[in-house]
């Protein structure tokens, strides 16, 4: 699968991310960079 789904931010929880099957979750923008790199295979 070439498309990855990331969610996060204040209104979202890791639990919700798991429930909907998101590929990545980050609680804030700074953490989202690390998650995106990992999902892209660059980190």
Is residue 8 a contact partner of residue 26, using CB atoms and an 8 Å limit? yes
2: pLDDT strictly greater than 90: no
Q: What pTM does this model have?
A: 0.84
Q: What pLDDT score was predicted for residue 1?
A: 62
Q: What proportion of the chain, given as a percentage, has pLDDT over 90? A: 91
- Residue 9, pLDDT > 70, answer yes
* Partners of residue 6 on adjacent β-strands: 24
**pLDDT of res. 19:** 98
Which ranges of the chain does DSSP label H, i.e. alpha helix? 14-20, 29-39
């Amino acid at each position: 699968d070439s498309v990855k789904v990331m969610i996060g931010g204040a209104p979202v929880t890791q639990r919700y991310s798991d429930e909907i099957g998101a590929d990545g979750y980050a609680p804030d923008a700074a953490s989202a960079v690390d998650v995106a790199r990992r999902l892209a295979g660059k980190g």
